[in-house]
Amino acid sequence: MKNGSYNPFEVAQSQFDNVAELLDLDNGVKSLLREPMREYQFVIPVRMDDGSIKVFKGFRVQHNDALGPAKGGNRFHPLETIDTVRALAMWMTWKCSVVDIPLGGGKGGVICDPHNLSQREQEQICRGWVRQLSKNVGPWSDVPAPDVMVSGQHMLWMLDEFETIHGGHFPGFITGKPVGMGGSLGRTEATGYGVIYVLREALKVLGIDIKKTTASIQGFGNVAQHAIQLYTQLGGKVTAISCWDQEDNTAYTYRKKTGIVLNELKAITDKFGGIDKQRACDLGYEKLPGEAWLEEEVDILIPAALENQINRGNVKKIGSSVKVISEGANGPTTPEADSVLKERNIFVLPDFLANAGGVTCSYFEQVQCNTNYFWEKEEVLDKLDTKMTSAFAAVNEVARRKKVYMRDAAYMIAINRVAEAVQLRGWA
């Protein structure tokens, strides 16, 4: 990190370098895997509703496709950077590998804020993104999915543009589509449920009864909401959540010691996961500063928002009772913070394992689209549970046998699989 600033790609490379040494990787393989194989940066001109032309910056990074087509989300965010996309693409490579699905890593996005754009303007951005990349993405090479502030409707516009350009039907080109239009049942729940599937297995290993645990969560979007749903269904209690407030341009933590009620909060939440603070207070929730979620005296923390949320500046504020962190977000913990978590012996379920439910179910959607045969929701979630449980068991076994940190164990499995594929293909 340069001049003390956070650079997610440098973090991703640092994490990779540490494990590459543990694996004693060949220098050629190491050089290949620490950089993206391809990346695209471009502009998307859009005629706005007021008649003016506005130019948006777009990205797509394909980190590695040795195991299969690149796979990864597109995000719309006003603070998007190429280094964030590079890091997320690299993490997607390891994520697909650690759950053992035949896909590589990619990521993309557009610098924009959907809050300030009409539906028509958002549609034009989606179609413009595909037009710029139509020769470089597809079911055979790179399969996008939704990410931050991107919905199933956005995905369908992208699919329609791709099919218009190529003159056919290619439902396997993109995932996260609405059900009935090639989307998979269970996809909405998949990432949040996956976070809890691996958490459930970790608590078993630690000998902790999930029914006696409490949790604090950062984020209240799709991932967090479904994580809360399954966690409380299994008997746990969420006492605090933190989310961004668009009106104040800051974050708040909403706490209720008796446990939050998911449905009552969903009823006062906008489509971007922002909670109406006044109505929350009327319902008996205590409104605290945004970082207060980290300081709660709970058993479990679930960061399910953005990267760089547990860092050198706040890691020592983590409540003394915290035993497990299940990373629902991508890259929420910096290497400096990781060192502190290791010292405290907190059991960390790393992001690219814990939140791999989303890409796993995206893979299921792709398979269903390509075979034109769709599964019932129960079958999707059963397959997801099996995949996530198996991945956790493999990572935990390596961590126990080699006496390494869970994040390092997950990296060792993921990187080794990709390195073997690279070597077998003769790329290095």
Q: Which two tokens stand for residue 279?
A: 């109505």
Report yes or no: 414 and 94 within 8 Å, Cβ to Cβ: yes
DSSP annotation string for 122-140: HHHHHHHHHHHHTTT-BTT
Residue 107 annotated in active site: yes
Report the candidate in 212, 282, 214, 224 with the shortest Cα–Cα distance to residue 251: 224
**Alpha carbon distance 168, 138 (integer Å):** 12
Q: Which of 107, 177, 237, 256 is catalytic?
A: 107
> Is residue 217 within 8 Å of 240, Cβ to Cβ?
yes
Contact present, 322 and 286 (Cβ < 8 Å): no
Among candidate residues 275, 305, 304, the one with its CA nearest the CA of residue 287: 275
Q: How far apart are CA 322 and CA 296, in angstroms?
A: 8
Q: How far apart are CA 246 and CA 221, in angstroms?
A: 14
| 183 Cβ contact partners less than 8 Å away, ≥ 6 residues apart | 152, 175, 176, 177, 365
* Greatest Cα pair distance in the chain: 63
Q: Going along 187-312, which residue ranges are E strands?
A: 214-218, 237-245, 250-255, 286-289, 300-303
Q: Report strand pairing: 53-64 vs 38-47.
A: antiparallel
Active site residues: 107
